[in-house]
Amino acid sequence: MFYDRETRQYVCNSCGVSYTLQDLVMIKEKRMALKEEQERKKRQKEEYLEWWLSKKK
């Protein structure tokens, strides 16, 4: 990606899609939130499995 000063946007060299800085920040925040949610669910499943296996002993 390169920054186009005239339009004040970041433009992809390959496909030509363009984003503002605000767009890029929002995309990054959404990805981080999604990753955190996935990690939370994974931890929750692991904790449940550990609890369930401890009851079987």
Asked if residue 12 has pLDDT above 80, the reply is yes
**Ramachandran region, residue 8 (left: φ > 0; alpha: ψ -120 to 50; beta: rest):** left
Instruction: Name the token pair of 20.
Output: 């503002």
pTM of the model: 0.68
Report how many domains make up the chain. Answer: 1
Asked if residue 37 has pLDDT above 80, the reply is yes
- The H or E element that residue 46 is part of is helix 21-55
Asked if residue 57 has pLDDT above 90, the reply is no
Structural domain of 30: 2-55
Instruction: Name the token pair of 55.
Output: 């009851």
Q: How far apart are CA 13 and CA 1, in angstroms?
A: 6
